[in-house]
Amino acid sequence: MGQCYGKTIPTTENDATTSATTTTMVVSANQNQTPLPPSTPGNGSMPVKNTPGRSSHPSPWPSPYPHGVSASPLPAGVSPSPARASTPRRFFRRPFPPPSPAKHIKASLAKRLGGGKPKESTIPEERGTEPEQSLDKSFGYNKNFGAKYELGKEVGRGHFGHTCSARGKKGELKDQQVAVKIISKAKMTTAISIEDVRREVKILKALSGHKHLVKFCDACEDVNNVYIVMELCEGGELLDRILARGGRYTEEDAKAIVVQILSVVAFCHLQGVVHRDLKPENFLFTSGRDDADMRLIDFGLSDFIRPDERLNDIVGSAYYVAPEVLHRSYSLEADIWSIGVISYILLCGSRPFWARTESGIFRAVLRSDPNFDDLPWPSVSPEAKDFVKRLLNKDYRKRMTAVQALSKLVVPILSFKIVCRY
């Protein structure tokens, strides 16, 4: 990731002449620079005007050389080393678009799954990039999964594993239906991916007991897989119910859903856990009834966080990611933004930020504001619109916390019930 700038290279005949060509440089985060061929009318490219070292347009992406090219750490006369990846041969008009944060998400997934290219330098590699043979894949869980459970059909699949239904053979779960998340050890090619599994089990154990949190039952392992045994939710995803309703909930039905979401998220935040992947696909209903309770699942990207701590790795799902996540400095407020996106979808049936590509979605999240003018928003109550706007505030410091948002919905209901009883 980086920024482009133009560098004027004068001709050898006369440095002061105006017959200069423009070479486009791409400055990446690792200080590798790749010059493109000079743009001349004879090589099929349009001539490009000289561009300044610093654009006059503000950009949320800090430059590695805030004072221009002269701040480069390379000695005078030393040409930059070529970049590993080829640079597209095209010129950009000012203002330059910000680099795509999608590359960070893909790089993060590659690091977790072990799919990234190995570094070709002698610089010590980061934590978790050791060769596979040096990794300890022993988790210390029970090794008798086959004796305790009988696997059934597959019920779901994600980035890091798949989930199957199962039946308990003995013990407390005998003849009970459970869900088993199966994570292949063959995919754990980095220390980070192994630590993610350990942390997911640790978080599930720490948060066990809340009404709207999936119940953790057991963790097992064998030579090939890790098995996380949880409560089986047979009512389907929240997303399926949104689609079944034609994309819209009434305000009262949407409030009932959002109250359950805020209740479990507030519980997680009070325990020092940020989920980081809240979306309708990660909320399951316990049964097919309309009034069935929901359960929050999938803590694979979750993490423990201190009150004064800021996280910087970009994780989550594109449509629900908060602006501060793309800026690589976020905390618990990122979950509140995701709840705001879910609330917006429940009330109008469409996403507040949309584009055809991940880069376009991220650009919309950073620059655009949700639309509250088109149908059906004119028929939505001002209180509901204000509630969603306060969740989708781009300034995380002005965004409501989970407890504040929950009290805004629950306290009027309790007051109304008390008045009616009186």
Q: Which residues are annotated as a binding site for ATP?
A: 181
* Amino acid letter, residue 88: P
| Eight-class DSSP state of 237 | B
Round to whole Å and give the CA distance between 217 and 269: 22
CA-closest candidate to residue 301, choices 340, 327, 268: 268
**Long-range contacts, 159-164 (Cβ 8 Å, 24+):** 159/109, 159/113, 159/300, 160/112, 160/113, 160/187, 160/193, 160/196, 160/300, 161/187
Round to whole Å and give the CA distance between 24 and 3. Answer: 11
**What does each C-alpha distance from 378 to 248, 341, 348, 381, 382 come to in angstroms?**
14, 18, 11, 8, 9
Classify residue 29 as exposed, middle or buried by CB count within 10 Å of its CB (0-12, 13-18, 19+): exposed
Find residue 6's DSSP bridge partners. 24
Active site residues: 277
CA atoms of 204 and 230, how far apart (whole Å): 9
Contact 198, 182 (CB under 8 A): no
Any idea which residue has 């049936």 for tokens?
349
- Give binding residues as ranges: 181
Sign of CA dihedral 310, 313, 316, 320: positive
Helix axes 102-113, 358-367, angle to 10 degrees: 120
User: Considering just the CA atoms, what is the radius of gyration of the chain in Å?
Assistant: 26
Residue 368 near residue 355 (C-beta atoms within 8 A): no
